[in-house]
Amino acid sequence: MRLYDHLFTMPDPDDVPEGQDYRANLNPHSLVVLKDAKVEPGLSGAASGSRYQFERQGYFCVDPDSTPGKPVFNRTVTLKDAWARIQRRT
C-alpha cells in the first residue's frame, strides 16, 4: 500500500522564513508505504489500473509495479473524516 498525502504542509509552499526555500514546507508524510498490509485474497490477481474502495481507508488503484501474488495499491482519495474536523473546531 502506498498512502499519498499533500506534498506540502502549507497552502503556499514559498511561504517560508527568511533564508529558507520551499523545501522547508515539504510534508515528510506525503508518502507512507505499508509493506505488510493485508487485503482480501481475491485481490492478489487484480489488474493494473483497477480501482477499489477499501472500507474506512479510501479509494485505491492497482499500480503497474504489481506482480502476480504481490499487488501494489496506491491510495488515490482518502475518505472524509467528519469527526476529526469537528474535533479540530473545539
**18, HSE (Cβ side, Cα atoms, 13 Å):** 0
Beta bridge partners of 77: 59
Give residue 45's pLDDT.
87
**Which parts of the chain have pLDDT scores under 70?**
81-87, 90
The C-alpha cell 477499489 sits at 52
Q: Per CATH, the architecture of 2-89 is what? A: Beta Barrel (2.40)
Give the residue extent of every domain in the chain: 2-89
Q: What is the pTM of this model?
A: 0.75
